[in-house]
């Protein structure tokens, strides 16, 4: 409360704004905060008035009139002025407000007309302050017609600590939970998600009986029902919606689409609900918000309130407008019940299996379901039938149907008699379709998703979908033919063919295409697949990753291209003349790539990823890193003496992406037209500078230039050793005549623990020096380096030299080799750096005073926050995230949690704590170390919040249980649902079947398959794989030979996602499958490098103490239970 009060007191005492508008969801504490401010400051005003619940009271007969009377009485100090009606009342109030210094609180304003009726539109005393609370999120329009100023305060929900205190005050009468109630109290806190009203109501309710059994019983209702006092407050915002269609839209989203991409929802619901405009209304009313990843999100209590509205329609689920709980949905199809007013129906049989106990699961498998109830649902708009197999009959669906999601569709062809003419979205992911064709023209269909239809061979009659906008054929590995009429689809803007590696017939892409995914298609640049895209001028996003071409045509004609992804194109050798409009380029692990150039010869990219490009020597306008062995003396100029040391070696430090896999031979770095290199300290006259200091700084005066020579530049050297893991430093050069440079090189040498290295850099700024100038040089070390000596030497050239092009009037643009105005600070200094050091400060790697150490107190670090590779942040083009904002459409909506609909209320915003286990026979560790471990391993490239979690589903096969699998794979520690789905697809491509060992847990068995027929399983498991994040996993095997077999059988899992040199595994005796099984060794998978093992511990309930150190000095502690293996970053398919 104190922090919030402090912010508002600033407005009260120092701001010129007359109005403060506090906005937020119901129950967030708006009114409580406003009343606290009024009660704390009333003595400083002549008049005080508090009008509560204005929105609901205005709905009563003459409600506004009564409010005016109360308001007038407060302002007049008890004088009885007659107010005959609303309009005259406004004028009387205006008269008083012009003269009196008043503090006014208007609670729950819903419409601007209510504000006008109470305050009028006249002038208000300049010393008056008016506080307004509202559930509207955008009140700017309320004050457009007024000559008044306002300040908006968005109410912040309580954090976990504040929430726990508030709950405990109402439940226990103290700020801390009673002993034994800590876990129960935290469960309530998670459910309330910072809403003070809910915490107060539930805390008071639970205080009625302080017994653990009572609490445990009461907590079972959370997510299933909602307390009446909470419901009544939250429902006010729902009731205030202006249209019935707004309320219907809200209920659709609450029941089915929380956590779904907003663009996906808009496309689907726009025809019936004007979703583009009405979703904005819901956002303004604080009923929805859009997360940074473009997902529609809703506070958990609001979602429960919406679902409760539907539940209250009837005690019988079949008679409600929406059914989303899987068990209720299954009962409707089994018992042949239906409702004429049903608008949404969802059933996912795989999730249902996970939700019920083992006995119920066996019963469900025997159910025979009927589609007859669906035929009676004449108003049905949304239908999900995931993995519904045992169906006795198929009847026609409602003609109002807009969304049909049927994962695991069991037939090889589409059912011909279904009427889908008004359908907008058709999702047949994981189907067994062999040929996709439609018997009729579907003018309304905009989204077609056939992801992972592993038997699909042909897509026919695509012209029957004239208005199709998005087509997903991702991981349709057997797809050989796509109808040639696809080129005539004038509305198709997104085509995802990732993993379609067996295409045998050429076809042309439509001219309208904007986002094209051809990753993993084994494409070569040929006549069959020219990849020139000469007619696709609207192309914005192009993904050609992991293909076989060695070169690409130029794309200078693609003026709209913003993102190009060529990751893992291992044969690609060069990229030439990339368009100047390109904003993002991804070339991860293009191991043969040597050079990247641009049409404009300038580096203008906002983002670039190049890790693993071990042969990349130059990105034009950005960086050039070349071994000395590949440079001749002419390239080196006055540094040609370095050729004598070209075979010397030194590790590199700095940009990890660029140095990964590179040779230790000496390298020359070129950036900002500055040359630099590092080498071990040696005795050489060329390394002896003209001016020397034993400290980190020196100054000297520029002498007269020798006759017949011209001052060309400045050599800077310093000797250093390494003193820490983080190494951040800058070179500063300045004069009083306009030279002010701050340079941070991306790459430099890293000497060993007892070694000293020399950094040598050449700055071509000689024409900026004049005789008598004082040159100030300093090496500013933020951390990680010890400087032993620094020095400088002036570099001259002969005037007659043919290569001497330096002129005295040369500007900075020419010196740097381009326009680097974006690197210039407000002081005029050039900050030549391509890193956002402020990010390091935020994570604690740099102290807050690092920037003042660098530049003094002349400017603060806000000027370089968000610093990019191209300098100061500017207005961005449509970014990679924005271009892929239809994530659930591009990658398949199953990645969004609309497909875990029944799980929504129990999982929104709740991240599951890590439960670590190596296989199902061993006990699970739930110690406090788990949370630390989660922090360590959530560094994936595609880390994003997930609204809910579910386990992997079997693709193309019936639900099975296996007690003795070949290999256990556990993914229940993995938060990234997208990554889980992608791993699943990769494993299936390798001919492996995933099936759950037990419906109650998240372990899955892998077994080798031959098409549809699994092989015999061994008598005991050979290995366990625990996937912990996008960049770490652990393998436990019985014997080394079995590890080799495992690796051979699941080659893609190990070699594609995790490089073998970074893979660790444990071996041990599994004969007893005991928790106390002794670990025999811990070793890297590669025989090239051996890491010493200090201690061998037993894997038991007590964590083993094991230290495994690699040559870089990184310690991996408690290896058996807590391990982080850093490997190549995971890159999502389609990027």
Per-residue pLDDT of 1058-1072, as tens digits, reads 444 444 444 433 333
pLDDT tens-digit map of 802-845: 344 334 445 666 666 667 788 888 888 899 998 888 777 777 77
Band (pLDDT 50/70/90 cuts) for residue 786 is very high
Please check whether the two domains, 2-154 and 678-835, share a CATH topology: no
- Section 564-588 average pLDDT: 92
Band (pLDDT 50/70/90 cuts) for residue 121 is confident
CA distances from 561 to 293, 509, 537, 773, 1134 (A): 21, 16, 8, 48, 16
pLDDT tens-digit map of 1031-1043: 555 655 544 444 5
Is 952 within 8 Å of 982 (Cβ atoms)? no
Band (pLDDT 50/70/90 cuts) for residue 628 is very high
What is the distance of C-alpha 28 from the center of its chain?
27
**Residue 103 is encoded by which pair of tokens?**
């503090």
Architecture of domain 678-835: Sandwich (2.60)
Name the CA radius of gyration of the chain, rounded: 34
Band (pLDDT 50/70/90 cuts) for residue 1008 is very low
Q: Which of 444, 337, 494, 319 is nearest to 885 (CA)?
A: 494
Band (pLDDT 50/70/90 cuts) for residue 968 is low
Q: Is the pLDDT of residue 990 over 70?
A: no
Give 707's contacts (C-beta < 8 A, 6+ positions apart). Answer: none
The DSSP 8-state label assigned to residue 868 in this structure reads: B
Half-sphere exposure of 1055 (CA within 13 A, CB side): 9
Q: Which of 368, 502, 479 is nearest to 431 (CA)?
A: 479
Instruction: Give the model's pLDDT for residue 1123.
Output: 29
Half-sphere exposure of 117 (CA within 13 A, CB side): 22
- Section 762-779 average pLDDT: 91
Give the distance between the most distant pair of CA atoms in the chain.
104
Half-sphere exposure of 777 (CA within 13 A, CB side): 26
More confidently predicted of 1021 and 793: 793
Q: Is the pLDDT of residue 365 over 90?
A: no
Is 476 within 8 Å of 448 (Cβ atoms)? no
- Section 870-880 average pLDDT: 57
Average predicted confidence (pLDDT) for the chain: 76
C-alpha torsion angle, residues 489, 494, 495, 496 (rounded to 10):
-160
SS3 sequence, 763-776?
ECCHHHCCCCCEEE
Strand pairing report for 129-134 and 728-734: unpaired
Architecture of domain 2-154: 3-Layer(aba) Sandwich (3.40)
Q: Is the pLDDT of residue 382 over 80?
A: yes
Instruction: Give the model's pLDDT for residue 886.
Output: 35
Beta-bridge mates of residue 698 = 777
Q: In angstroms, rounded to a whole number, what is the distance separating the alpha carbons of residues 125 and 936?
A: 57
Is 126 within 8 Å of 153 (Cβ atoms)? no
Helix (H) or strand (E) holding 331: helix 326-335
- Section 746-773 average pLDDT: 92
Domain boundaries, the chain: 2-154, 159-222, 678-835, 911-1117
The position carrying tokens 């444990």 is 1066
The position carrying tokens 């726009």 is 270
Q: Provide long-range contacts, Cβ within 8 A and 24+ apart, for 487-495.
A: 487/511, 488/463, 489/462, 489/463, 489/465, 490/466, 491/446, 491/466, 491/467, 492/468, 493/469, 493/538, 494/469, 494/470, 494/886, 494/889, 494/890, 495/470, 495/471
- Section 971-995 average pLDDT: 60
pLDDT tens-digit map of 88-99: 667 777 777 888
The DSSP 8-state label assigned to residue 733 in this structure reads: E
Instruction: Give the model's pLDDT for residue 923.
Output: 26
Instruction: Give the model's pLDDT for residue 11.
Output: 84
SS3 sequence, 833-860?
CCCCHHHHHHCCCCCCCHHHHHHCCCCC
Q: Is the pLDDT of residue 890 over 50?
A: no
pLDDT tens-digit map of 6-16: 778 778 877 78
More confidently predicted of 1130 and 181: 181
Instruction: Give the model's pLDDT for residue 397.
Output: 83
Half-sphere exposure of 649 (CA within 13 A, CB side): 5
Band (pLDDT 50/70/90 cuts) for residue 555 is very high
- Section 763-792 average pLDDT: 92
Q: Is the pLDDT of residue 106 over 70?
A: yes
Instruction: Give the model's pLDDT for residue 491.
Output: 94
Query: Poorest-confidence range of 91-105, 590-604, 895-909, 948-962?
Result: 948-962
Instruction: Give the model's pLDDT for residue 955.
Output: 26
| CA 174-178-184 angle, 5° bins | 110
Q: Which of 642, 643, 660 is nearest to 651 (CA)?
A: 660
Strand pairing report for 651-654 and 515-517: unpaired
Q: Is the pLDDT of residue 989 over 90?
A: no
- Section 496-516 average pLDDT: 90
> Mapping DSSP to helix (H, G, I), strand (E, B) and coil, where does residue 749 land?
strand
Is 1131 within 8 Å of 944 (Cβ atoms)? no
Instruction: Give the model's pLDDT for residue 61.
Output: 83
Is 475 within 8 Å of 450 (Cβ atoms)? no
Q: In angstroms, rounded to a whole number, what is the distance separating the alpha carbons of residues 830 and 814?
A: 14
Q: Is the pLDDT of residue 294 over 70?
A: yes
More confidently predicted of 233 and 1120: 233
pLDDT tens-digit map of 138-185: 787 787 666 678 888 888 888 898 899 999 999 888 888 898 889 999
Q: 858-887 burial, b if ≥16 CB within 10 A, otherwise e?
A: eeebebbbebbbbbbeeeebeebeebbbbb
Instruction: Give the model's pLDDT for residue 972.
Output: 62
Give 258's contacts (C-beta < 8 A, 6+ positions apart). Answer: 296, 297, 298, 303, 897, 898, 904, 908, 947
Q: In angstroms, rounded to a whole number, what is the distance separating the alpha carbons of residues 382 and 400?
A: 9
pLDDT tens-digit map of 313-342: 999 999 999 999 998 988 888 876 667 889
Band (pLDDT 50/70/90 cuts) for residue 301 is very high
Strand pairing report for 1003-1010 and 830-832: unpaired
Give 110's contacts (C-beta < 8 A, 6+ positions apart). Answer: 54, 55, 58, 134, 135, 136, 240
- Section 27-51 average pLDDT: 88
pLDDT tens-digit map of 257-280: 998 899 999 999 999 999 999 999
Instruction: Give the model's pLDDT for residue 739.
Output: 87
Q: Which of 1109, 1079, 1117, 1084 is nearest to 1096 (CA)?
A: 1079
Q: In angstroms, rounded to a whole number, what is the distance separating the alpha carbons of residues 292 and 884?
A: 12
CA distances from 931 to 911, 925, 1099, 1123, 1126 (A): 11, 12, 20, 13, 19
Q: Is the pLDDT of residue 503 over 80?
A: yes
**Residue 1114 is encoded by which pair of tokens?**
């990184």
Q: Is the pLDDT of residue 604 over 70?
A: yes
Q: In angstroms, rounded to a whole number, what is the distance separating the alpha carbons of residues 519 and 128?
A: 63
Instruction: Give the model's pLDDT for residue 924.
Output: 26
Start-to-end Cα distance in the chain: 44
- Section 624-643 average pLDDT: 91
pLDDT tens-digit map of 462-488: 999 999 999 999 999 999 999 999 999
User: How many of the other CB atoms lie within 10 Å of CB of 935?
Assistant: 9
Q: In angstroms, rounded to a whole number, what is the distance separating the alpha carbons of residues 752 and 721?
A: 8
Q: In angstroms, rounded to a whole number, what is the distance separating the alpha carbons of residues 481 and 506?
A: 8
Helix (H) or strand (E) holding 130: strand 129-134
* Length of the chain (residues): 1135
Query: Poorest-confidence range of 154-168, 290-304, 1004-1018?
Result: 1004-1018
- Section 518-530 average pLDDT: 82
| CA 327-331-334 angle, 5° bins | 135
Is 324 within 8 Å of 902 (Cβ atoms)? yes
pLDDT tens-digit map of 658-684: 888 788 899 999 999 999 999 999 888
Instruction: Give the model's pLDDT for residue 818.
Output: 66
Percent of the chain residues past pLDDT 90, beyond the cut: 34
């Amino acid at each position: 409360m104190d922090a919030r009060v402090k912010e508002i007191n600033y407005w009260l005492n120092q701001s010129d704004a007359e109005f403060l508008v506090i906005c937020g969801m119901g129950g967030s504490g708006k009114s409580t905060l406003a009343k606290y401010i009024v009660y704390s400051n009333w003595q400083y005003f002549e008049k005080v008035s508090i009008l509560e619940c204005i929105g609901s009271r205005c709905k009563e007969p003459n409600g506004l009139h009564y409010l005016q009377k109360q308001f007038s009485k407060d302002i007049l100090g008890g004088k009885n002025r007659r107010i005959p009606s609303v309009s005259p009342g406004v004028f009387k109030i205006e008269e008083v407000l012009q003269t009196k210094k008043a503090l006014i609180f208007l609670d729950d304003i819903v419409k601007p007309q209510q504000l006008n009726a109470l305050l009028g539109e006249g002038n208000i005393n300049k010393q008056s302050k008016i506080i307004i609370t509202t559930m509207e999120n955008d009140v700017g329009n309320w004050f457009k017609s007024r000559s008044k100023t306002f300040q908006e305060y968005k109410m912040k929900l309580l954090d976990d600590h504040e929430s726990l205190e508030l709950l405990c005050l109402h439940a226990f009468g103290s700020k801390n939970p009673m002993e034994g109630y800590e876990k129960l109290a935290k469960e309530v806190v998670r459910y309330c998600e910072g809403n003070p009203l809910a915490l107060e109501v539930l805390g008071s309710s639970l205080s009625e009986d302080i017994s653990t059994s009572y609490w445990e019983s009461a907590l079972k209702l959370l997510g299933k029902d909602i307390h009446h006092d909470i419901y009544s407050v939250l429902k006010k915002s729902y009731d205030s919606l202006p249209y019935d269609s707004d309320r219907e839209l809200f209920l659709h989203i609450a029941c089915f689409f929380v956590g779904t991409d907003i663009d996906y929802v808009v496309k689907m619901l726009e025809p019936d609900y004007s979703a583009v405009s009405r979703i904005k209304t819901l956002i303004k009313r604080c009923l929805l918000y859009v997360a940074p990843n473009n997902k529609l999100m809703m506070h958990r209590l609001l979602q429960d309130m919406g679902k409760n509205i539907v539940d209250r329609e009837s005690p019988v689920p079949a008679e409600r407008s929406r059914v989303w709980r899987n068990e209720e949905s299954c009962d409707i199809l089994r018992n042949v019940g239906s409702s004429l007013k049903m608008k949404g129906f969802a059933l996912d049989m795989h999730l249902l299996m996970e939700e019920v106990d083992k006995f119920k699961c066996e019963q469900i498998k025997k159910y025979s379901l009927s589609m007859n109830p669906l035929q009676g649902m004449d108003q049905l708009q949304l239908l999900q039938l995931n993995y519904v197999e045992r169906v006795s009959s198929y009847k026609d669906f409602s003609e109002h149907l807009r969304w049909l999601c049927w994962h695991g569709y069991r037939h090889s062809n589409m059912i011909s008699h279904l009427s889908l003419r008004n359908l907008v979205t058709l999702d047949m992911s994981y189907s067994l379709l062999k040929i996709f064709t439609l018997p009729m023209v579907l003018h309304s269909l905009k989204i077609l998703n056939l992801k992972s239809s592993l038997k699909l061979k042909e897509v026919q009659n695509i012209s029957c979908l004239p208005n199709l906008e998005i087509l997903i054929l991702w991981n349709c590995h057997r797809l050989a033919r796509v109808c040639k009429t696809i080129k005539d689809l004038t509305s198709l803007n997104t085509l995802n063919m990732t993993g379609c590696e067996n295409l045998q017939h050429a076809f042309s892409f439509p001219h309208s295409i904007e986002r094209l995914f051809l990753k993993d298609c084994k494409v070569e640049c040929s006549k069959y697949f020219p990849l020139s895209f000469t007619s696709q001028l609207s192309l914005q996003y192009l993904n050609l990753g992991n293909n076989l071409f060695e070169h690409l045509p130029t794309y200078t004609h693609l003026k709209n291209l913003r993102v190009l992804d060529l990751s893992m194109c291992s044969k690609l050798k060069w990229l030439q003349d990339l368009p100047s409009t390109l904003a993002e380029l991804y070339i991860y692990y293009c191991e043969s790539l040597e050079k990247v150039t641009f049409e404009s010869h300038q580096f203008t990219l906002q983002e670039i990823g190049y890790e693993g490009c071990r042969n990349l020597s130059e990105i034009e306008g950005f960086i050039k890193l070349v071994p000395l062995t590949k440079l001749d003396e002419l390239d080196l100029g006055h540094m040609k003496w370095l050729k004598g040391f070209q075979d010397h070696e030194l590790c590199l430090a700095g940009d990890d992406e660029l140095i990964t896999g590179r040779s230790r031979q000496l390298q020359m770095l070129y950036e900002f037209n500055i040359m630099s290199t590092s080498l071990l300290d040696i005795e050489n006259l060329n390394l002896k500078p003209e001016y020397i200091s034993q400290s980190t700084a020196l100054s000297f005066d520029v002498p007269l230039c020798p006759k017949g020579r011209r001052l060309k530049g400045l050599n800077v050297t310093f000797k250093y050793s390494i003193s820490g893991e983080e190494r951040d430093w800058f070179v500063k050069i300045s004069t009083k005549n306009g030279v002010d440079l701050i340079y941070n090189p991306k790459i430099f040498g890293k000497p060993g623990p007892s070694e000293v290295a020399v950094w040598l850099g050449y700055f071509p700024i000689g024409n900026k020096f004049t005789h008598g100038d004082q040159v100030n040089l300093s090496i500013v070390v933020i951390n990680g380096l010890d400087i032993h000596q620094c020095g400088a030497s002036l570099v001259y050239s002969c005037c007659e030299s043919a290569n001497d092009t330096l002129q005295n009037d040369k500007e900075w643009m020419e010196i740097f080799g381009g326009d680097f105005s974006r690197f210039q600070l407000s002081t005029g200094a050039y900050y030549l750096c391509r890193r956002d050091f402020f990010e390091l400060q935020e994570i604690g790697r740099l102290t807050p005073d690092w920037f003042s150490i660098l530049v003094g107190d002349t400017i603060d670090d806000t000027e370089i926050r968000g610093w990019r590779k191209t300098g100061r942040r500017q207005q961005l083009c449509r970014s990679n995230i924005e271009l892929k904002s239809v994530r659930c459409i591009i990658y398949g909506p199953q990645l969004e949690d609309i497909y875990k609909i029944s799980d929504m209320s129990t999982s929104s915003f709740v991240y599951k704590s890590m439960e670590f286990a190596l296989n199902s026979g061993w006990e699970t560790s739930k110690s406090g170390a788990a949370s630390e471990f989660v922090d360590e391993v959530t560094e994936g490239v595609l880390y994003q919040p997930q609204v809910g979690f579910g386990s992997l589903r079997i693709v193309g096969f019936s639900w099975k249980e296996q007690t003795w699998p070949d290999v256990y794979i556990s993914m229940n520690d993995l938060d990234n649902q997208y990554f889980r789905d992608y791993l699943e697809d990769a494993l299936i491509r390798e001919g492996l079947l995933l099936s759950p060992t037990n419906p109650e847990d998240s372990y899955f068995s892998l077994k080798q398959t031959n098409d549809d027929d699994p092989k015999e399983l061994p008598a005991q498991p050979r290995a366990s794989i625990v996937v912990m994040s996008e960049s770490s996993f652990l393998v436990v095997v019985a014997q080394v030979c079995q590890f080799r077999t495992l690796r051979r059988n699941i080659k893609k899992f190990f070699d594609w996602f995790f490089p073998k040199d970074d893979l660790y595994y444990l071996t041990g005796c599994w004969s007893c499958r005991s928790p106390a099984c002794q670990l025999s060794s811990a070793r890297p998978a590669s025989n090239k490098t051996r890491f010493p093992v200090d201690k061998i511990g037993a894997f038991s309930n007590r964590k083993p103490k094991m230290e495994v150190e690699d040559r870089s000095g990184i310690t991996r502690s408690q290896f058996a239970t807590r391990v982080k293996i850093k490997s190549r970053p995971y890159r999502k398919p389609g990027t």
